[in-house]
Amino acid sequence: MTENTGPWLIVGLGNPGPEYAGNRHNIGFMVADLLAERIGGTFKRAQKAQAQVVEGRLGPVGPASRRVVLAKPMSYMNLSGGPVTSLKDFYKVPTERIIAVHDELDIDFGTLRLKLGGGDNGHNGLKSITKSLGANYLRVRAGIGRPPGRMDVAAFVLKDFSAAERKELDWFVDRAADAVEALITQGLERAQSAYHG
C-alpha cells in the first residue's frame, strides 16, 4: 500500500439517534456529515462493523486528493473502539491514518486543536478507541468549553449547543472539516500551523 493509495479512516464521534443529534458530544458526527456532503456521498450501514460509512475522495481534485472512509460508529460513544477496530481491519488502515473528530472540554468553543496520540482526557469515545488500538491515531479536537458553574460534565456534553453557540456552529463545523482535509493532504505540522490560533 503506497502512501497515496491506501485510504484514510476518518471517524466522527457521537451517539446515534435523533435525541442526541444536536448535542455538544455529537460535533464529530456533524463534521462527518459535512465531509460526506463534500464527497457527494450518503452514509450507509457498514458490512463488517456497527457503523455507517461513506467512501470517496477528499482534498483538491487530481493526484493530491486522498481516498477516505468516513465513519460514524453506531454503538454508543463509550463503545466506539469496537466499530473503529472492525473498520480499521476491514479497510486495512494503519493506526496513524485514522483521524478521530471529537468534542473537547478543555478547549474554548470555536477553537480547534490537532494532534497525534496523547491521553483521552476523560473522553469516553477516545478511551474506548485507545483501549482497542493504542493511542497513536490523529485527533481533531473541537472545543466545546467547560460547563458553567457546577453543572455536571456528562449533562453538559449531552445538551444541545446554546443559542449563541448555534450562531457560530456552522462556521465551526466547516472549519473542522477543512482541518481534516488539511491533515490528510498537507500533514500534521502544516495543518496545525493553519488551524491553531
Kindly list the catalytic residues.
25
Rounded to whole angstroms, the Cα distance separating 123 from 119 reads 9
List alpha helices for the chain, DSSP H: 27-39, 81-91, 124-133, 153-157, 163-186, 188-195
- CB atoms closer than 10 angstroms to residue 18: 6
CA angle, residues 117, 122, 124, in degrees to nearest 5 = 85
Joined grid coordinates for residue 183: 491533515
- Exposed, middle or buried: residue 126 (CB in 10 Å: 0-12, 13-18, 19+)? buried
Strand pairing class (98-104; 51-58): unpaired
Of the candidates 41, 42, 20, 39, which has an alpha carbon nearest to the alpha carbon of residue 29? 20
